[in-house]
Each structure stands twice: as structure tokens, then as C-alpha cells.
Amino acid sequence: MSGERIEGTRSRHDGLSTTALLLALVASLVPLFTVVSGGAWAALAFVLAAVLLGAGYLLRRLRVSAVLVTLILAAVWTAIMTAVFFSDVAWLFVVPSGEAFARMPRLIEIASNDIAVGVAPIDASASLTFLIVGAVGLLAIALDHVVLTARMPLLAGVALIAVWLIPTLAVPRPIDLWAFTLLALALLWLLRTETRGRDRTRSTAAPRGGVGAVAAVIAASAVVIAVIAAPALPSPAAPSGGLGGGTRIDASLNLGDDLRRPAEVPVVTQWSAASAPAYLRVATLTELEGDSWQPDRSRSVPLDEWSPEDAAGDGIEIAEERRTVEVLDLSSAQLPVPADAVSVDGVTGLWRIAPANGTVVSPSTAARGQQFEVVSRTPRPTLEQARAAEASGGPQQARDLPADTSPEIAELAAEVTADASNDYDRLLALQSWFRGPEFDYSLDAPVEDGFDGSGIEAVSTFLQVRSGYCVHFASAFAIMARTLDMPSRVVVGFLPGLPTGDVVDDQRVYQATTAQLHAWPEIFFDGIGWVPFEPTKSLGVAQRFTSEQDTSNEPEPTPTPTAAAEPTPTASSAPRPEEDPTAGTPQATTFSILRVLPAIGILLGALLVLALPALARAALFRRRVTQARRGSAGAAWRLVQDAAIDLGIPVPDSESPRAFGDRLRRDHGAPEAAVERLVSAVERSSYALPGSFAATDGTELTTDAAAVRSGLFASASASRRLVGRLLPRSLVIRPGSTFAEATPLGR
């Protein structure tokens, strides 16, 4: 009767603890609404958490083993997620097929990219809904085990507070005191209800086996999410006077991930009375350090103290243009401005300019939301003047090459430019060679061939593979120019973009998106200044000065949408699962072994993982049996203690071997004679003087230990015996420890 009263009390209070845990979980998710717009994801997440926690409560009321409760909840989570997101390719609507498993990585990838490029609050796509709902369900299962099985609500509180803090830290905004109060009250109620549910007359409140693993999972997840996921979450719109969120780009020329975004995000627009839109500079990179180019660290001055001078010499025509630039979504402390800017008006906040390269930066103000007018004065030499000028001068670092530069790069540069008689024609020859039939534009080749970088090694591989994107074309051009003793640097910014169809003051508006993120080289000519070139195949406008005999001294015509578009399918054009016309189409019903191979592999892997504890326990068991056969009473007694721990029988440190043996005989079916002999052997080995008794027969010790173990397993329930053999707690729990004193539920 006493045991029934204790279990009944626990079950009744488990209901309150389950309710409190659900409310605490819901409260911890409230700040997520500042990152993701409310919608179906919220309803699905909350309903799934309620179903899982409710199922756990019912299973415990039915006295199901704690480990089985967690496994059953994992199966329920799998079935629900499959029915909601993969029913079209599932077996019986709830059993995931191989195709369902194949879709999951793509969904997670798309959801992660949605987070990376989105602006809070973002709309929850099908992929993002899958990620959020699945994560909430897994968190509910882990918390169910920690709070209602292990009786460790404080650990759950730490995890829930971490979940609450992630969107709060990722999205700069005032602390929501009401949301924090709701979470605090929910956690206090959870602690109160769980504490009242304990019966202190027995050591039932101690953590159970498996808590260490679950605690490690929760702790590791919280750290990983806080360190990695939080910085990737989108930030909300912020006033231009402070640093805000938006699209991020890597100004160190490592643009691969930025260019492979799954969706294009409008970044900047420009309009002008000029005949063509301009390239927009964000960062300038002159120094090649190790495997990458580094943004210049040039001296800067406040914009209002800047007095620019024309770099071109006498006789060089200067084209002055005025344009308006509006930054839509760029999380950067650098303004996108055209080259050769001489004034920037209309920006808010503190901005400085580096006269050496024209980069406009701010120590405290964001580019996002800025709209400004910029005047640029660009040298426009004739073809004859460009051919007469030498590509020399400029800073020394613009001519430096790493010591490990392959001589083959210089040989190739000399070969390509062999027919040219002046520096400008040599550079045009390089430009034409890169844009010619020998090269291809590809975002995938650098990743597949392992050279997705911009340093010497990456350029050497690119010149062999001859397939890459703007980073590789620009870096290779700049390095080859340096082998010809020409000063060069690389610029990161945006292509002019495409016309939007809008008109402002009779001026066409051009818009650049993340797909127009670009890198191009510049070469310094004595008497002219820095001259841009465009080696990237099929992108932008190739450099071309016209002869003084022509009627126009303009570069090539305005790029058409075809010229500005990327020549090959990019990551942004890859079909998303929810947009893929074949994604929701039922597949052919013809059986194929290829469809079930992934499921079979996952099943075999899961079985192997489940079998590992039992295999490790068997090896340890054999070692202790060997020791017992050699006459070690301690090893024989440890076999009995391990069996008790595996079956959930308390093994406290305060209990003597004789008292423990008496309890095993009285309550757990251990044979009396075998227990008596083992206890006597342990007492003699522990307390008698050495040599005062004959050596114990090892065969007898082994036989008695096996008899006691058999009696303990025979008296336990079938479920407890199964768990004790498959998931032996004695692998991680030692006799006399706090965990060994626990009395499990569902025996």
C-alpha cells in the first residue's frame, strides 16, 4: 500500500508539472515572434509540444519504463513530422521513406539561408516551418526527460532561458518585460509543482540514469545555438543613425557563400542623368596576405574635411557625374559609392573617407537606409593616351607578391601578353583571354575542385581548371598583372544592376541585388590613376578606351539585363522544395531497392548505436567474471551491484554489504544461500586480517554471483529486464553515487 501511495502521489503531481513545463516552453518561444512572423509554425509547434508532453504523462501513468517513454516520444515526433511535411512520400503517411530523409537536408539548408539573408521579422516558409517545429518537438522530448523523469527542473530552466535569450540577443530591441515576466512565472511554477511532487520518504528525487547524456545534449545545443545560430539570425530594420541589420557580405574577398545565397535580396538602387549606371565600391583590397586579400587599412578623414584632387594629369579628360544612391538592405559600416567620388551629400551619422581608395566608412553608423547624392570625377583618357601611359607608381604593396608565387603564373601572363607592345594593350589581352572561350563562369566548380579562395594557391588551381566566379577572375587578373610589374588591387562591391522600370526625375532607376555582388581588379597608371578592368566572363562591361578619332569617348554601351545576368544557373536559381513542381508529386509505385536503401542504412545504424551499450557491458562483465574466478570477492560483489543498478535497484553508499544483501533477498528475489556466501566472502576480504582465512574458491564466487544476478533479473518486470540489458546504467553509474541511489519509475 505504501508503494502504491507513493506512485499515486507522483503521478498526480506529474500532471501539474507537465502543464507547467508546457507553459514554460511556450513562454520561452515568445521572443521568437520578433524574428519570425507569426503563422502556422507557431500553432504547429505549440500543438506538437502539447501532444508530446501529454503522451509522456499518459505513458508514465501506465508505468512504462522511463527509457521507453523517451523512445516512444521520439517515434511519435517522427510520425507527426512525417505526416505534416512528408506525407506524399511516406509509407502509411507516418513512416518516413528514403525520399523523405533525402529531402530533409535540403529543407534545413533552405531554412538556414532564409535566416541568413532575411530581415526580421521574416515570413516562415515551408522550410523554416519544418525547422522550427521539428526543433521545438525535440526540445520538448528532452525537457520531458529532464524534468519529469530525472527531476532536474533547474537544468530545464537553464535551457529554456537560453532559448528565450537567443532571439532577444539576435534582434537588438528593448527587453520585453512582459515576456520575461511570463517566462519567470512559468519557471517558478514549474519548480514549485515539481518540488511538491517529490516524496521525501524515499530517495526517488535523485536523477536517473541517462541524465548525463541528455544534460550534455541540452548544454551543447544551447552553446552551439548561442554561438553560431544567434549571429546568423536576421536583425530588424534600424534607423540609419545606428548599426542595424540586413544583408551581410564578406569584404575580404571570400564571397562564395554570399554569391550562393538561395534567394536574391535587393541591396542598393541608383539613378543618374549619366548614360550608364556605375559600379559601386564597398571595399578595396590591396594587400595579399596568405590565402586571401585583406581590406585596406588606409588613413581616413571626415567627409566634411575632405578636399579631393584630381589624380589625372594634364590633357586627360575628366567626366563629372552626379547620381543618387539608396541603400536598401546592407548590414555594413561601408557605403556603396562609385569610383572617383569627390563629394558625398545627404548621409546621416558620422562618416569618413579613405582618400587613398575612395572607401567611405563609419565607426558607428549603418549603410542600411541611407540615401545620398554623390559626385564623381572619372578620368577618361583616349586610347592613345592610355597606350602611352605606363602601369607604374602607386603604393608598394600594390606590386608585392607572396614568396610562394608559382613561376608558372608569371610565365602564363607573359605568354598571353606576348603580342602586346604597351601596358594597356597587355592588360586588354589579359582581359580578353579571361573573357574568351577558354574560361567558364561557375559558382560550383571552386567548391567541387577545392579552390574556393583568392590566394596564390587558389589562383594556380583556377588557371588550370579555368572555371570559377568573379573572385577568381579578379584575383587571377590582379596577380598576373603584378607578375608583369604592374600595380594592382581588387575591389569588392556591386555591379550596376538592372533597370527596375521606375523613373525618378526622368532618370532610370537601376537596382542591384545580392546576385550582383561582385569583385573586379584595378590597375594604376601613372598620370591617369586607378583604372578598372572586367575579366569576369559574361559579367559587367569590359574595359575599353576609345580612340581620339572617334566621336565618343564613352566606354561600351550600358549593359543589358542579359549581360548583367549570371551566365550559369546559380544557387539563387536552384528550385526550392516548396517551389519544385516535382517536390509534391507522388513518385512511381514501382518498387526500387534504391528507395529503401537509405531507410535500411539508417535502421542498421540505429540498431548498432542501440547495441553499443550492451556490447560494452558484456565486455566489462567478462572482465569481472575473470577476476572473480581468480578469487576476487570484490569483483563478484561488483557483478551483483551492477545488476542491481541496471535494474534500478538503489545501491546506496550508506548501506553495508550485509544490509544490502538482506534487502536483495527480502525484496528482489535473490537466493538466500548464494547471498549469504557472497556477503561473508566480501566481509572477510574487507575486514579480516590477511592470511587468517583460506582463499575463497573462485568458481564458487562466480557461481553465487551468477545465481544472485539471475534471481534479481527474474523478479524484475519484462520491460525493466529489457532496458537493463540493452541500456545498462552501470556503465556510467558507480555503486554508492547519487545516481545509484535513485528508485526508477515504472518497475
Q: Are residues 213 and 133 in the same domain?
A: yes
Q: What is the pLDDT of residues 120-147, one digit of tens each?
A: 566 677 778 888 888 888 888 888 877 7
pLDDT in the model for residue 535:
94
Say how far apart CA 442 and CA 264 lie, in whole Å.
Answer: 17
How many Cβ atoms sit within 10 Å of the Cβ of residue 428? 21
pLDDT in the model for residue 109:
75
Residue 248 · residue 332 · CB < 8 Å: yes
Q: Report the SS3 class of residue 446.
A: helix
Domain contains 473 = yes
Which amino acid is it at 443? L
Out of 232, 247, 273, a domain closes at 232
- What is the pLDDT of the chain when averaged over all its residues? 76
Domain contains 251 = no
Say how far apart CA 667 and CA 681 lie, in whole Å.
Answer: 22
| 52 sits in which H/E element | helix 40-61
The rounded percent of the chain whose pLDDT value lies above 90 is 14
Out of 542, 573, 604, a domain closes at 573
Q: Are residues 350 and 409 in the same domain?
A: yes
The residue among 744 and 549 whose pLDDT is bigger is: 549
For Cα atoms 730, 734, 735, give the angle at the middle one, nearest 5 degrees. 105
DSSP classification of residue 89: G
pLDDT in the model for residue 262:
58
Mean pLDDT of 507-532: 91
First CA to last CA across the chain, in angstroms?
15
Q: Is the pLDDT of residue 558 over 80?
A: no
DSSP classification of residue 585: S
Say how far apart CA 694 and CA 473 lie, in whole Å.
Answer: 86
Beta bridge partners of 281: 337, 493
Residue 324 · residue 330 · CB < 8 Å: no
Q: Is the pLDDT of residue 339 over 80?
A: yes
Q: What is the pLDDT of residues 39-74, one digit of tens each?
A: 777 888 888 888 988 888 888 888 887 778 888 888
Q: Is the pLDDT of residue 591 over 90?
A: no
pLDDT in the model for residue 290:
65
Buried b (16+ CB within 10 A) or exposed e, 29-53: bbbbbbbbeeeebbebbbebbbbbb
Q: Are residues 212 and 306 in the same domain?
A: no
Give the relative orientation of helices 633-646 and 718-726 as an angle to the nearest 10 degrees: 120
For the ranges 136-150, 570-584, 712-726, the maximum mean pLDDT occurs at: 712-726
Q: What is the pLDDT of residues 608-644, one digit of tens each?
A: 666 677 777 788 888 888 888 888 888 888 889 888 8
Domain contains 52 = yes
* Nearest alpha carbon to residue 367 among 387, 385, 344: 344
Residue 367 · residue 332 · CB < 8 Å: yes
Say how far apart CA 278 and CA 310 lie, in whole Å.
Answer: 19
Domain contains 89 = yes
Beta bridge partners of 532: 522
Q: Are residues 226 and 287 in the same domain?
A: no
Domain contains 394 = yes
How many Cβ atoms sit within 10 Å of the Cβ of residue 196? 12
Domain contains 584 = no
Q: Are residues 204 and 265 in the same domain?
A: no
Q: Are residues 74 and 197 in the same domain?
A: yes
The residue among 182 and 465 whose pLDDT is bigger is: 465
Identify the domain containing residue 709 by its residue range: 595-741
The DSSP annotation for 371-413 comes to EEEEEEEEE---HHHHHHS-S--S-GGGT---TT--HHHHHHH
Burial of 9 (0-12, 13-18, 19+ CB in 10 A): middle
> How many helices (H) does the chain have, and how many strands (E)?
23, 17
User: How many angstroms separate the Cα of 256 from the Cα of each of 427, 443, 518, 596?
Assistant: 26, 7, 11, 35
Q: Are residues 548 and 656 in the same domain?
A: no
For the ranges 84-88, 344-348, 601-605, the maximum mean pLDDT occurs at: 344-348
Domain contains 68 = yes
pLDDT in the model for residue 56:
86
Q: Are residues 607 and 561 in the same domain?
A: no
List Cβ<8 Å contacts ≥24 apart for 122-128. Answer: 122/35, 122/36, 122/37, 122/234, 123/36, 123/37, 123/39, 124/36, 124/37, 124/39, 124/40, 124/41, 125/576, 125/578, 126/85, 126/577, 126/578, 127/576, 127/577, 127/578, 128/36, 128/41
Band of residue 588 on the pLDDT scale cut at 50, 70, 90: very low
Instruction: Report the 3 state secondary structure along 120-174.
Output: ECECCCHHHHHHHHHHHHHHHHHHHHHHHHCCCHHHHHHHHHHHHHHHHHHCCCC
Residue with cell 508529386: 585
Residues listed for the chain: 747
pLDDT in the model for residue 426:
94
Q: Are residues 548 and 617 in the same domain?
A: no
pLDDT in the model for residue 117:
46
Beta bridge partners of 284: 491
pLDDT in the model for residue 553:
43
Say how far apart CA 531 and CA 543 lie, in whole Å.
Answer: 9
pTM: predicted TM-score of the whole model, two decimal places: 0.46
C-alpha grid cell for residue 440?
567558364
- Based on the structure, what is the number of domains in the chain? 3
The residue among 414 and 583 whose pLDDT is bigger is: 414
Q: Are residues 562 and 608 in the same domain?
A: no
Q: Are residues 282 and 418 in the same domain?
A: yes
Q: What is the pLDDT of residues 1-16, one digit of tens each?
A: 333 333 333 444 477 7
Say how far apart CA 648 and CA 716 lie, in whole Å.
Answer: 10
Say how far apart CA 190 and CA 21 lie, in whole Å.
Answer: 6
Q: Are residues 145 and 84 in the same domain?
A: yes
The residue among 406 and 366 whose pLDDT is bigger is: 406
E runs forming strands in 37-110 = none
pLDDT in the model for residue 106:
79
